[in-house]
Every structure is written in structure tokens, then in C-alpha cells.
């Protein structure tokens, strides 16, 4: 069985109304990276420093030394950026930190903002 192909010319584009045989291509949509969000830890006068260090190690995977440095930044400057994440990850981390702090009866505040 032989298959024959013929070249379509401009005059072949339409065989009448509703019979357009030309190929249409859609331009590719340019994808954008999703916006990133900074997770911020805020200072308060009641949450123990060691608790903050523990939170940073547990929820952000920081070493003890890194967590201690960020805790000192929060203590001295009033807040610090703990990490930059996609919206969903940032939202989850904020919720985890806030829930953990409340369960341990600490007023620690964690927020997020668009980078």
C-alpha cells in the first residue's frame, strides 16, 4: 500500500467554506517563575532565645550556629529573614512555626511578605 503526499499550495488552503486545511500554530506562552516570599521572624520580649534557635533548626533546617546567628539578628534588629520560598512553602512554614509556638505557649510571631 503506497501513501502519497502532496504539497499544499496557497490555492489549496481552502476547499470551500469551513474546510480550511492550513495549519495554525499558537505562539508559545512565556512562562514566568512564581513570585517568591520572604519568611520573617519577629522579636518579642517573652519567647526564650533557645526556643527560637530550636524553631529555626527544626522548621528551616539550619545548623545550630546558623540558627543562633539569626536568633541574635532577630533579638538585636527586631526581625530577620529566615528564608525565601514559593508561596505555598512560605505559608506552610509560617503556619508550622505559629502553631508550634502557640502549643508551647510562646508569643513568637512569624510572617511572610512578597520578595
User: Using one digit for the tens of pLDDT, what is the confidence trace for 78-105?
Assistant: 999 999 999 999 999 999 999 999 999 9
User: Using only C-alpha atoms, what is the Rg of the chain?
Assistant: 28
Phi-psi region of 58 (alpha: psi -120 to 50; beta: other; left: phi over 0): alpha
- The confidence score (pLDDT) of residue 104 equals 98
Query: pLDDT per residue over 45-91, tens digit each?
Result: 999 999 999 999 999 999 999 999 999 999 999 999 999 999 999 99
Supply the pTM of this predicted model: 0.73
- The confidence score (pLDDT) of residue 8 equals 52
Q: Closest by alpha carbon to 52, among 76, 30, 35? A: 76
Amino acid at each position: 500500500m503506497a501513501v502519497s503526499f502532496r504539497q499544499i499550495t496557497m490555492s489549496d488552503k481552502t476547499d470551500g467554506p469551513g474546510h480550511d486545511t492550513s495549519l495554525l500554530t499558537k505562539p508559545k506562552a512565556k512562562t514566568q517563575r512564581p513570585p517568591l516570599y520572604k519568611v520573617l521572624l519577629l522579636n518579642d520580649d517573652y519567647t526564650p532565645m533557645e526556643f527560637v534557635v530550636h524553631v529555626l533548626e527544626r522548621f528551616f533546617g539550619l545548623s545550630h550556629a546558623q540558627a543562633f546567628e539569626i536568633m541574635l539578628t532577630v533579638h538585636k534588629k527586631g526581625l530577620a529573614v529566615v528564608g525565601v520560598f514559593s508561596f505555598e512553602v512560605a505559608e506552610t512554614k509560617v503556619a508550622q512555626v505559629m502553631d508550634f509556638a502557640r502549643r508551647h505557649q510562646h508569643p513568637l510571631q512569624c510572617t511572610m511578605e512578597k520578595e
